Amino acid sequence: MSMTESVQPTPPISRTAMHILLAIGPEERHGYAIMHEVSRITGGAVKLGPGAIYTTIKRLLADGLIEESDERPDPESDDERRRYYRLTGLGRVVAAAEVRRLESLVSSARPWALGDRVVGG
Amino acid sequence: MDTARVPGRSRSGRISTRVYAVLLHVYPGEFRRRYASEMTQLFTDQLRDARRPSGLAGLWRRTLADVASSALSEHLRRDRTVARSLATFHPTRSMRLAGVVAIAGGVLLLWAYYSWNPFGDRQVNSARLLLFWAAGIAVAFAFHGRQAAFRPLLARTATGAVVLCGAWNVLWLLLAWDRSSPFIGDFGLMGFVAGFLGWLAASYYGAAMLVISAAWLGMGRWAATVTRMAGGTLLVAGLVATFGMDRLGLTRSDSYGELFATLGAVGVAGVGLAWLAMGLVLVVGGRRVHEAH
């Protein structure tokens, strides 16, 4: 492990938490939108239910990685009961760190795992 | 922002939504109060997406698995949070005040055993008994939070029993304040019921305290031992006090009467000793933060 990794300031987060952070991204999203976005970005491999989504949202709120948006949707166009969530500054840092970690993992594993590089070629 | 569509209003959809709303009761109350509305909304959205019967069955299969795993996870997380708060015993100011009341009630009760009838004035004697029952109520309130964190229902029934029966005794003593003896006359029956249920409630409280086992968590060794022993004493002494005074009129014989009176006195003293011990723990049994680590 390099020194950079050992002093990584971002806390370890669960896979579900990471999916939700990445699903929210730069937008403000409610539970239903988060559920669909997680399914979309994972190619349908991950389908989160309300329990998994809201227990994770509760922890992300407590950790300060997301926050509830003050804005409410127009009652004409959306249900007023919906709450929207967005990333905080810390949430963006954590999401970026996770993306970098995944990129590093993928780039190091791709040559042998997918066989799309010729050894010595 | 995404826009929501109007949820489906089919009969099966309405039934499913109601069943899901009931199912949400498996989550901790605090979590449910905050997120039940949003979760039900999301489930309704999913129902709308699952139009075919096979889709509905699949949704319910996934939903049951989701509820089971996330509710368990939330309960375990809550338990860890509670466990952290119980890791050390730091009585609040109100808990210490309750402890002072408990010590006063216990000492005044036991005083009568050291010097028989030291309270010649019957109203002073009634005030002594009144403070004794207030001591029980104070102890029950002081330990309730710790007990309820583990077994809410059992803790509520035990605290409720002591508080209600203690209040009944206090009310009886106040109503019979001017009487020559509160135990006979107009308020005799009320006093009989107050005593019978009061000692029984003390015994039940002791049993609940031992079963829940949360009262002495995080205490130092002596405080934990004293609290545990006080719980056991309450359980036994409360029962002895309940039946020891021959309240049910099992015998009229003088010799048995004396035996019952002695048993009753021992039982009452045991309960007083237990309140006194718990009061001491509340006042001086707390641990400083640096001692806990």
Q: Which ipTM value was assigned to this complex?
A: 0.80
Confidence of residue A14 (pLDDT cuts 50, 70, 90): confident
Is the per-residue pLDDT at A70 higher than 60?
yes
Mean of per-residue pLDDT scores for chain B: 83
CA B48 and chain centroid, separation: 45
For residues B155 and B93, give the distance between their C-alpha atoms in angstroms, rounded to a whole number: 21
Compute how many other C-beta atoms are within 10 angstroms of the C-beta atom of residue B105: 26
3-state helix/strand/coil string of B181-220: CCCCHHHHHHHHHHHHHHHHHHHHHHHHHHHHCCCCCCCC
**Do B67 and A51 count as a contact with CB atoms less than 8 A apart?**
yes
The pLDDT of residue B286 is: 82
Does this model's pTM top 0.90? My answer is: no
- Nearest by CB to A52, from B2, B70, B77: name it: B70
Question: Which pLDDT tens digit goes with each residue over B91-138?
Answer: 888 889 999 999 999 998 888 877 656 666 777 888 888 999 999 999
**Do B39 and A33 count as a contact with CB atoms less than 8 A apart?**
no
CA contacts within 13 A on the Cβ side of B41:
20
- Please tell me which residue, B281 or B259, carries the higher pLDDT value: B281
Record the tokens describing residue B12, joined without a space.
Answer: 């099966």
Question: Which pLDDT tens digit goes with each residue over B83-92?
Answer: 666 677 888 8
Is the per-residue pLDDT at A93 higher than 60?
yes
For residues B274 and B139, give the distance between their C-alpha atoms in angstroms, rounded to a whole number: 10
The pLDDT of residue B125 is: 81
Record the tokens describing residue A15, joined without a space.
Answer: 């896979």
Question: Which pLDDT tens digit goes with each residue over B200-226?
Answer: 999 999 999 999 888 888 888 899 999
Query: Is residue B139 within 8 Å of residue B102, measured between CB atoms?
Result: yes
Exposed (0-12), middle (13-18) or buried (19+): which is B219, by Cβ within 10 Å?
buried
Residue of chain B with shortest Cα separation from A33:
B2
For residues B164 and B145, give the distance between their C-alpha atoms in angstroms, rounded to a whole number: 18
- Please tell me which residue, B253 or B267, carries the higher pLDDT value: B267
Query: Is residue B71 within 8 Å of residue A95, measured between CB atoms?
Result: no
Question: Which pLDDT tens digit goes with each residue over B177-191?
Answer: 877 777 777 777 788
Residue of chain B with shortest Cα separation from A47:
B62
The pLDDT of residue B162 is: 95
Q: Calculate the CA dihedral of residues B66, B67, B72, B73 and round it to 10 degrees.
A: 50
Is the per-residue pLDDT at B5 higher than 50?
no
